[in-house]
Structure 1
């Protein structure tokens, strides 16, 4: 079989083994969810985006791409009227089932998104917990972070994360990683008991995905 052209845009930056591990872990989360258990997803987004005129449209676009019945939380609904965010984040994050990140583009129309220190910390916390994390890209919809190319930028005292969406990401055909992540975020209305825990649940599909 002839080799693929060198300039072919990748559909994922994750090696096949990591993709398989991620899919297995996401499927296990879906199987383990108890019937009727709530699903809580936090939307990480900087103020400079929420203050724009089109924010409500973007928020609606995110909701429409996530499974029906989840609880989508934002800073305004989770932290604005309570104690300090910094002192509450770790405890709050422990109760989350997933994270969606909206971040500024490096340049309009590009594939590179930049996460500030707060969003970087939020992403790393939820990734480390083995929960699904998705980037909402303007032209690509939801993209699992595992499929993105992640890089660390900025000085040590103000580290940021740069996420690059694969150039070959196909919005018309949902990738298996995206399907698995959305299944992991779907509430379980079934009366059937959850499946027993299997060894696949112990896989760490995120190793090396975020630096």
Structure 2
């Protein structure tokens, strides 16, 4: 349980956060300026018909680096064709993923729940060490790394509940590193390169892919 007298800006350990920042900076430093960057915005189907949906898409697009190609379901998928092979093909072309999820309890505004499809999309991208960000209207973009994950239910219908840190700030270095990794302009600063021989960090995949703990 969160303690009210201690600021909580992330649920990840400092070591995992450092590994994440280094991994994101490595992506940024390795991108040739001008290379196209594609990001998929995953949202529950009911969001797509809301009057406010386009406004939310525009807000998200404005929060991303200039030049990012932001894809939605309507852009990326043919509804008459099976989703799964289409996702497998699309995922190989993506540089990042944005998830929205749904809020089930108004008393807990920092909690968002991803359905089975969004959870699998998340697992695909974190396993490929690509940046994944959660979007909440009140908080903006939050790296999933910094959220507290809780798996709900059983496969193949398992969902994922993400809790945003109580004291989250958009100036956090993990978000800045993730946005740098998605910047088509790339990065050439030598200090952003990882140390030689440093292992690839397992900064995200484990909390989302491990089997649920027994009660």
Fold agreement, TM-score > 0.5 = yes
Which has the higher mean CA deviation after the structures are superposed, 19-28 or 198-207? 198-207
TM-score, structure 2 length as denominator?
0.86
Conserved? CA contact 1:144–1:181, under 8 Å? yes
TM-score, structure 1 length as denominator?
0.88
Offset, 1:81: 6.1
| Equivalent position of 1:150 in the other structure | 149
Conserved? CA contact 1:28–1:201, under 8 Å? no
Gaps of 5+ in 1: none
After superposition, what is the alpha-carbon deviation per residue over 1:16-50, rounded to whole angstroms, capped at 9, x for unaligned?
Answer: 00000000000000000122210000000111111
After superposition, what is the alpha-carbon deviation per residue over 1:63-84, rounded to whole angstroms, capped at 9, x for unaligned?
Answer: 1111110110111001036732
Compute the RMSD of aligned alpha carbons: 2.3
Gaps of 5+ in 2: 210-215
Offset, 1:7: 4.2
Query: Within 1, Cα distance between the matches of 2:199 and 2:32?
Result: 16
Please list every run of at least 4 consecutive aligned residues from structure 1 whose deviation after the TM superposition is greater than 3 angstroms. 189-192, 195-201
The correspondence for 1:183, drawn from 175, 180, 184, is: 180
Distance change >3 Å, CA 126–CA 189, structure 1 → 2: closer
Offset, 1:9: 4.1
**SS of equivalent residue, structure 1 residue 83:** coil
Conserved? CA contact 1:25–1:200, under 8 Å? no
